[in-house]
Structure 1
């Protein structure tokens, strides 16, 4: 089994998979995991789902938000 947790109000709570059985990160938009594929060793499917997440609109918005924050800080990468 795969358990995914999210921090809510100073406590970790389980994050439920969606109807497709995928976990979708609330902190890192576009980070998606097909738990069944991971557990059965179907790495091609795992990678395909990860790529779908990375190619999603929510991930693109997340990347743009990170870029804006970096520009506000003078373009320096945080250490």
Structure 2
């Protein structure tokens, strides 16, 4: 739990844990000073709150279907939310 305290102290907004032996991926987001788990949508996709367009198809990743993982990521990058995020970055 030392890493968790360091993450919180340094303002890390999100982090991932890949439990290889349990075949699970957990994504946590900082909200009100506490890390809360993100839940996958109906399609099994985890979506970053901090980086719009950063989408992860967890089941595809666990199944080593990298083409599907990349396809979902590309969909996220093509989303209007990601384009708006990029525009904010360009303007700052």
TM-score where L is the length of structure 1: 0.86
Segments of structure 2 that go 5 or more residues without pairing to the other structure are 1-23
Structure with greater strand percent: 2
Q: Larger RCO: Structure 1 or Structure 2 (Cα < 8 Å, ≥ 6 residues apart)?
A: 1
Relative to the length of structure 2, the TM-score reads 0.74
**Distance in structure 1 (CA, Å) of the matches to 2:29 and 2:44:** 17
Name 2:87's counterpart in structure 1: 64
Larger radius of gyration: 1
Root-mean-square deviation (CA, aligned residues, Å) is 0.4
Pairing 1:16–2:39 present: yes
Aligned residues: 69
The one-character-per-residue Cα deviations of 1:42-68 (angstroms, maximum 9, x if unpaired) are 000000000000011100000001111
Distance 2:67 2:43 in 1: 17
Any unmatched runs of 5+ in structure 1?
70-79
Q: Which runs of 4+ in 1 moved over 2 A?
A: none
